[in-house]
Structure 1
């Protein structure tokens, strides 16, 4: 039989574990409560071009040197900047070098902060400025209302859906297009490095929802035999630059899609409900040859219990869709399979690339 002393010791140990777990739970809630501080500090770094300033010196530099290079600031607040940098170093966005001779701390770049460079070919700075803009942050405050009553968070916040808002607001339209263009460069680089055989057998390709044409222009440059078409809403096409080998066509993907050997769509279907996706995909099927055509989807494949490099971000992006889209969502492979089958694409395969999304290649036969 267990002694009374053993029972008391066991109870004391259990109480201690429970107390530690409660404290850990409290710490977790504090972390979540102030999670916005990460994105706001990140946005601040982008707006001040801190990464660009350090990079322009080609070496780690002092806080005073960073402050002296901030545009539009005659008298920067060094103390404020120091506290922001301390936080960003804690988050490993920058690194602090402490000289052994006791000199001033020097601030350098990390692999993460290199993605904040405005003038880099591969930069996420425009996306950060868009996602953390008050226009895009406002819908998040209406999640509980939408959960109670239904509705589209962006429309509740701004009185119209996101693409209507962009059409009527040139400033937002540019913010949105710049953000999409920067992600397009990042993803396109990954596609061209890993999907090398995907474009070799096609003569024409239409990028549906291609924005200002960044992705299709890079594909055509890498595969000059491909005739490229950039297809998007008229107000988007109006701002698109001229690219060799690419024609721009304005239109509505819910009505019809230009004919081509293949269709590519990057982060388009995640903006829409399943019913809308089926309409778009059926228009894609009508636009390609029934025997040899294919649709190339560049989308996340959600793995809620996954431990992959981008699996957590994919779940966050599902909430982004809840905040900004009209019924959009990230989808699991099973959900993609069901969607494609209902739209007339019974065969598909998923290809991983070194980026957040995957490639889903779908065939009508």
Structure 2
């Protein structure tokens, strides 16, 4: 920095831009915290339920009718969310505002982004996933990254004293938070699969049975059975997860361990399962999948991220999600070449990848 006075203007500008980038990255956590605040206060629900933009006072009155929310704090949080294009803002005049003729007032409205944060409807929503990922138990492992790089180990276990699956088994509230977060992403993914992949690729036509490995409370397989009534659905997960699963028509719940055995079916479906585990563990799971399906017409569907160069739409988020795997599991997101090697070792020499309009892709793999 002592040479700053000797730099030309272009070098000074480049250095200043570098400084600005570090400031931006340092406070990037504020974006997710502001989003969490908005979701907890149900601000997206408030704005999407109206047919017009609302003032700050109107939003505040709908947040809590029994108290007086701090509108100064709310204004500052909304200002960042507007800057990040989560909400819109317009300035107009309000002759009856009590501040004199021509007094300005800011009105806030929804966007396509805030639609994904609505909670009080049956629409697709990422709100439960946002709340899950920003829970203190899931944030604390991020502080263990340097220790993981230095010494190895499991970041989540370092921070919380147990692996994520064991903590969910021990803590009903955390288990519910986790299940809700997974269920909302499953709903979004299934909408893309059934409306795009299922309708255009006919990948599920003719299937007689399908087992959803790590299927949670069974909503995903229930959606399959509803769309394809000929399918016998099997929801397979750990016993403590199955214990909370409701009944679904045409679906049977099976508790067990995918590292030991997977229920037999014509096809296996896995959404966001293999990315949670190391290559060695994935090979074990894939071999169990191979044993669970028939030789001739069996196949597996893997719904996971496929990392790609020059991915403008989800690229940054997918790379960040790879770090989520360090924070929460022993897994990783993978490139196509990494998936190919994994599948071959697991007994699936043939595969094809289909992109769908969501965060993940579909990998169909065959035993011959």
TM range (shorter): over 0.9
Q: 2:23 aligns with which of 8, 16, 30?
A: 30
CA distance in 1, matches of 2:307, 2:8: 39
Is 1:19 matched with 2:4?
Answer: no
Deviates more, 1:100-109 or 1:271-280: 100-109
Is 1:318 matched with 2:359?
Answer: no
Q: Which residue does the alignment assign to 2:166?
A: 164
Q: Which residue does the alignment assign to 1:5?
A: none
* Local SS of the residue matching 2:302: strand
What TM-score do you get using the length of structure 1 for normalisation?
0.94
CA distance in 2, matches of 1:219, 1:119: 24
Q: Which residue does the alignment assign to 1:141?
A: 143
What TM-score do you get using the length of structure 2 for normalisation?
0.93
CA RMSD in angstroms comes to 1.5
Q: Which residue does the alignment assign to 1:255?
A: 260
Q: Could you tell me which runs of 5 or more consecutive residues in structure 1 were left unpaired when the two chains were aligned.
A: 1-11
Is 1:62 matched with 2:63?
Answer: no
Provide Cα deviations, 1:11-49, integer angstroms capped at 9, x if missing partner.
x99721111000000000000000100010010000000
Deviates more, 1:189-198 or 1:270-279: 189-198
CA distance in 1, matches of 2:287, 2:210: 17
Q: Which residue does the alignment assign to 1:243?
A: 248
Q: Which residue does the alignment assign to 1:276?
A: 281
Deviates more, 1:72-81 or 1:124-133: 72-81
C-alpha contact 2:155 2:327 (8 A) present in aligned 1: yes
Mapping for residues 106-255 of structure 1, pairs under 5 Å = 106-120=107-121, 121-196=123-198, 197-255=202-260
* Local SS of the residue matching 2:109: strand
CA distance in 2, matches of 1:36, 1:349: 37
C-alpha contact 2:93 2:105 (8 A) present in aligned 1: no
Structure 1 stretches (4+) deviating beyond 6 angstroms? none
Question: How far did residue 255 of structure 1 move?
Answer: 0.8
CA distance in 2, matches of 1:123, 1:54: 15
CA distance in 1, matches of 2:232, 2:105: 56
Number of residues paired by the alignment? Answer: 352
CA distance in 2, matches of 1:71, 1:100: 26
* Local SS of the residue matching 2:8: helix
Provide Cα deviations, 1:260-312, integer angstroms capped at 9, x if missing partner.
11000000000000010001111111110111100000000012x32331122
CA distance in 2, matches of 1:307, 1:202: 33
Q: 1:306 aligns with which of 310, 327, 345?
A: 310
Deviates more, 1:261-270 or 1:100-109: 100-109
Mapping for residues 75-114 of structure 1, pairs under 5 Å = 75-99=68-92, 102=102, 104-114=105-115
* Local SS of the residue matching 2:119: coil
Provide Cα deviations, 1:174-221, integer angstroms capped at 9, x if missing partner.
000000000000000000112220111211100000011111111111
* Local SS of the residue matching 1:57: coil
* Local SS of the residue matching 1:195: helix
Mapping for residues 287-298 of structure 1, pairs under 5 Å = 287-298=292-303
Q: 1:357 aligns with which of 351, 356, 360?
A: 360
* C-alpha spacing 1:73/1:161, structure 2 compared with 1 (3 Å): farther
CA distance in 2, matches of 1:125, 1:109: 15
Question: How far did residue 100 of structure 1 move?
Answer: 5.8
CA distance in 2, matches of 1:72, 1:217: 39
Deviates more, 1:193-202 or 1:288-297: 193-202
